[in-house]
Structure formats: C-alpha cells, structure tokens
Amino acid sequence: MLGYQEFVEDIKALDGKSATFVSLVTDTVIKTTKKDRKTGEPVDGQIRKQCRVSALLNGSYENSVAKRDYSYEVGERQWGVAHQDGANPALIEKSGKLYLQIMHPEVHEKKIYSPDADIHKLKNMDIFPKKSGNSSPVTVRAYKLSSINYIKINGKEYDLTK
C-alpha cells in the first residue's frame, strides 16, 4: 500500500479533467460548542467521526449544476485555492494545509466516538453544530488530507497515515 507522499504526487499528476470514483475512510474532529446550549455544562473531551465514503473525484461542478438546476448560478470558490503544484483542481490549499475536494459523497458507514470522554453523555448534549442551509443542488466536500486515513483511486490504495 502506498503512503501520503505518493498519494500527493499521484493526485498532482492527474490531469483534473477525467472524473473517477474514489473510496475513502476519514476520521475527523466534530467541532462542538464548549458548553451544552441548554444546561451550560462544559464539554469534556473530543468527539470524532469516522466514515467510509465513496465519491467522484475531478467531477465538473458546473456541469453537475447545469444538469440539475438551471436557475442556480455557480459562484467563485468560497475558500481555499487550487494547489499551485499541478493542474488537478481536486487538490485545494488553505492556510498551508492540503484538502481533497470530492463531489456527490455517499457515506456507507459512520461512527461517532470519543477517545477521552463518555460518548453517550456527549451525544445527549446540545453541542453539535446546526446544519447550514446550502442552496447548491450539488454536494461538494473538501476533506483535509490529514483526516483521510485510507483512499483508493484507479485501483491504487493509499494509507495516508504513513
């Protein structure tokens, strides 16, 4: 299995014009409030989410929007810029960190856990972010590379924890 550096080099080498399907396993920190909104009780520990996801890499956002909703206007990228070292628009850079942009993610498994707290207690607290009303007809996600544990693209498997 290939590692992080080989993954970044291979993504940079892709032309960015040919869409391909990817499978990934992510492990992300869920940002919560510091206190329960109802009781004021402080939050102890970190809450994490591990997901197994399949998605489209290098899909055309503009074409996907046009197929679904002709009244929606595609705007400029809201944050980050395409990475400078390659033609692949799926690799995004923001504040010196790299992200992988995917489209149409489908979550197959999701596990919420806490390495240092009682997850059952935390799940019952009013601490999770409120859902924002995104009006785009196409779902796009950008995962920080450091939160991707595993990814499979074009038959190659990468362990990004290496």
Residue 119, CB half-sphere, CA atoms under 13 Å: how many?
A: 10
Which secondary-structure segment (H or E) carries 13? helix 4-13
Report which of 68, 48, 55 is spatially closest to residue 24, judged by C-alpha positions: 55
Q: What's the pTM?
A: 0.78
CA distances from 140 to 4, 21, 90, 102 (A): 22, 14, 11, 6
Handedness of CA 132, 136, 137, 139 (dihedral sign): negative
Which secondary-structure segment (H or E) carries 117? none
Task: Read off the pLDDT of residues 60-83 as tens digits, 9 standing for 90 and up.
Answer: 767 776 776 666 666 666 676 666
Domain extents for the chain? 4-159
Q: How many CB atoms lie within 10 A of CB 14?
A: 19
Task: Read off the pLDDT of residues 14-60 as tens digits, 9 standing for 90 and up.
Answer: 776 778 899 999 999 888 888 888 888 888 778 899 999 999 898 77
Q: What stretches of 14-114 show up as alpha helix (H) in DSSP?
A: 61-68
